[in-house]
Structure 1
Amino acid sequence: MRPASTHDAIVIGAGPAGTSAALALIRRGWAVAIVERNVFPRRKVCGEYISASNLALLERLEIGDAWRAEAGPEIRRVGLFSGDTSVEAPMPRSGPAAGNGFGRALGRDVLDSLLLNAARSAGAEVFQPCRATAIERDGACQAVRIQAGAANSRDEAAILRAPVIVAAHGSWEPGPLPSHFAKKSHPSDLLGFKAHFSGSTLPPDLMPLLTFPGGYGGMVLADHGRMSLSCCIRRDVLARLRGSHARERGSQISAAETIEHHIVARCRGAREALAQAHLDSPWLAAGPIRPGIRPGYAADIFRVGNAAGESHPIIAEGISMALQSGWLLAMELSEAASGQRGREAAGRRYEAAWRELFSTRIHAADAIARLAVGTGGAALMEAVVRNFPRALTLGARLSGKTKPVPGLTEARPAGGG
């Protein structure tokens, strides 16, 4: 085993939450290691929309210009495609404190590479592809055992040491670390799917919410003309649909084919947007989704992104919450007193700041998702939106799409040490 190397913080996971935390800490003079098990670029189940509330944060992280150069068109309208109903309304514009503008979409294969490259250039020591297999107390620090290569790799292991561990590994997959979560399957689980399409006729400035029996989804035009379609569907509904198709055709079809057929058959707006489109890359699947708020700190392990808390993707705020949670944590850690007590106090402040910024949108997303998936809920949503289209604008505002990120105006200039 290679000798241990010591850092100020070790970030496990190089998605938007982990790299946001790493970049913000490095800008404040911290020595940071990032452990990422996947090779980039990588595709990932995600809605890919980045709200306008993040514009000022992207500038602070010094990736604003690169993001603007790569991302898709500004999303100036929000819509609802449900059954035969297609309604749209203006997307609220962010104010000066949030960056003045509209959100845009960027594929995770592009975004994650952009963020990780920025962190590496800023000074992060990146271990990729490497898996964190254990975390153990080691005096004043914690020791993270990492293993290079794939899960069955016999490559040499190494030890990284740091007083602070940032768990940015998400919540969808179980693992051996104390920050991972146990998984149990339930018929009501929501499973996530995502695919890119080329040749879609979806208006470039429109992001519609899709509702269909047993699930919901969204469409948005991302980078390079790719239309991103992401969705969730109940496990039991998907199983019934697959069984029905198998009986009708005499053979089983994939879960992805089933969900695509289901959306096209039950949602006219999606059907029209996909009429001339073709699949750009294979469907991805993930989950189950576990919305809710979880402990943000325990024993010098700080959770960010989905590991800290997860919203129903119906409000398209996953990337926003990831980026912003990493920033919130870095602010609290950079101001923490030294030693265990200082980190514990920072953990309590971080949890409070996290809840203040995100709890309302998590609860609102839960209510909207239950309505969309529940019996008769989609019809009720259609009726409300048809008679009051501005409900879509109001919902976008309540979901946090224009809410400024705390601490940006008070923070020291990027690179201030």
Structure 2
Amino acid sequence: MTRLSTHDAIIIGAGPAGTSAALTLARRGWAVAIVEKNVFPRRKVCGEYMSASNLALLDQLEIGDAWRANAGPEIRRVGFFSGDASVEAPMPRAKDGPRANDGPRANDGPSANPGFGRALGRDILDCLLLQAARSAGVEIFQPCRAVAIDRDGETQMVRIQAGNETTMLRAPVIVAAHGSWEPGPLPSQLGKTNRPSDLLGFKAHFTGSSLAPDLMPLLVFPGGYGGMVSADHGRLSISCCIRRDMLALLRKQPGPNQQSHLSAADAVSRHLMESCRGVRDALESAHPDGPWLAAGPIRPGIRSCYERDIFRVGNAAGESHPVVAEGISMALQSGWLLACELACAPDRAAGREAVGRRYEAAWKKLFSTRVYAAAAIAGIALRPGNATLMAAIIRNFPQALTLGARLSGKTKPVPGFV
């Protein structure tokens, strides 16, 4: 027997983008459902750093105190590790954001003088956000997979499955917050193609690292780039992207005990250690906290924010190269932007095209600079031989690291939530 459930909005995906949108809408009187295919808590390929400019937004979402209590140390320096080069520069301080029209000023409460960003594991952050959404009255369907979206007059029907059980959800507003890395049957999901230049993502946690707790270095190595940051509960989070063709070459090297091929995780780990002295030094006495994770390919770029009557947030709407460590910030803020546009619309069932246009304009105004800046930085880092050139430039001009942090949006406040 198929169940039917009706809502004002259905959000597919319970990451920061989806829960930010769900929380905002629910607290403005909307009946909201979230569909999430994974069981939480779950680890995820993600750099886990979040700029302090998001603190006013976290307070609006009512998880600011929990984030402060759990996140790692303040990141006051940005660095560069490549080959034998190890360069540091100050991290620019975030600015206060303007007043939200339904909440306190950023400088009136605990987010005053937000200062510097910190890192929190996605296994913790996503649970905080989802629990806040549940407390706000959002109906959670988890673990459930959305398998189809169909028109039904002025509303839309989303078919979800959990094992052999099928449920139909109906709403005028559908929000795709499922990311961009996995193909699937939904019209909002990207098709899958494999190219030698594809970037594949890897991530691991370590304990016992000697990395300075206030330093977040950019890692540049042949065929890829990455980053390291001290996160929650003494964990070091290390994440990176590597070209598919480079990974294939690395895996052909003999593995431990002369096995014919390295695993992907072993190949990436060895490559990082051999290519960056700073990584070797930081991990010399560290211990893995769980296995390496892999995901991808990563699809940086700007996509349509509204298409086929579906709104997109987070990576589904667009993503920057992870080289600038702004993925969580962009996800949270895009969910908020969309929810504010939807909540201000005079009719929840009509005017979606107009809302889509306003949301897309706001999205591009807020994020396009960091997307383009990230593409430029990643293009330089990925070009063969440029790691040495970058190291030489940054040694002589370490302030380029501080400038890069500004261009990536780390000091940009969340705009007035109109």
- TM-score per shorter chain, which class? over 0.9
Give me the whole-angstrom Cα distance separating, in 2, the residues matched to 1:356 and 1:341.
Answer: 25
Amino acid at match of 1:77: R
Asked if structure 2 preserves the Cα contact closer than 8 Å seen for 1:193 and 1:283, the reply is yes
Runs of 4+, deviation exceeding 4 Å: none
- 1:129 and 2:182 aligned: no
Deviation at 1:101, TM superposition (A): 1.6
Corresponding position of 1:230: 239
Which residue is 2:388 aligned to? 379
Q: Does 1:318 align with 2:327?
A: yes
CA distance in 2, matches of 1:288, 1:336: 36
- Show the counterpart of 1:213: 222
1:191-245 CA distance string (max 9 Å, x none) = 0000000100001110000011000000001011000000010100011111123
Hey, what does 2:278 align to over in structure 1?
Answer: 269
The aligned residue for residue 100 of structure 2 is none
> 1:5 is matched with which residue?
5
Q: Which runs of 5+ in 2 are unaligned?
A: 98-105
Q: Which amino acid aligns with 1:129?
A: P
Corresponding residue number in structure 1 for 2:199: 190
Q: Secondary structure at the match of 2:185?
A: coil
**Cα gap change, 1:31 to 1:188, in 2 (>3 Å):** same
What TM-score, normalized to structure 2? 0.94
5 Å matches for 1:24-103? 24-97=24-97, 99=111, 100-103=114-117
Q: Distance in 2 between matches of 1:330 and 1:196?
A: 33
| Residue 388 of structure 1: how far off its partner (Å) | 1.0
Identify the residue that residue 156 of structure 2 maps to in structure 1: 142
1:9–1:165 Cα contact (<8 Å) kept: yes
Residues 359-387 of structure 1: CA deviation (Å, up to 9, x unaligned): 11111101100111102221221122111
Counterparts of 1:164-203 in structure 2, within 5 Å, are: 164-203=173-212
**1:345 and 2:345 equivalent?**
no
Name the Cα RMSD after superposition. 1.4
The 1-side partners of 2:161 and 2:95 are apart by 45
- Paired residue total: 404
For residues 226-273 of structure 1, what are the alpha-carbon distances to aligned partners after superposition, in whole Å with 9 as ceiling and x for unaligned?
Answer: 000000101000111111235993422211011111110110001100
Alignment of 1:397-416 (within 5 A): 397-408=406-417
Return the letter of the residue paired with 2:352: R
Q: C-alpha separation between the residues in 2 aligned to 1:389 and 1:72?
A: 25
Match of 1:415 in 2: none
Farther-moved stretch of structure 1 (60-69 vs 246-255): 246-255
Match of 2:134 in 1: 120
Instruction: Give the alignment's TM-score, normalised by structure 1.
Output: 0.95
Give the stretch that moved more between structures: 181-190 or 96-105.
96-105
Structure 1 residue runs of 5 or longer lacking an equivalent are 412-417
Partner of 1:258: 267
Corresponding letter in the other structure for 2:2: R
Partners of 2:320 and 2:374 within 8 A in 1: yes
1:321 is paired with a residue whose SS is helix
Matched, 1:300 2:314: no
Q: Is the 8 A contact 1:328 1:406 kept in 2?
A: no
SS of equivalent residue, structure 1 residue 244: coil
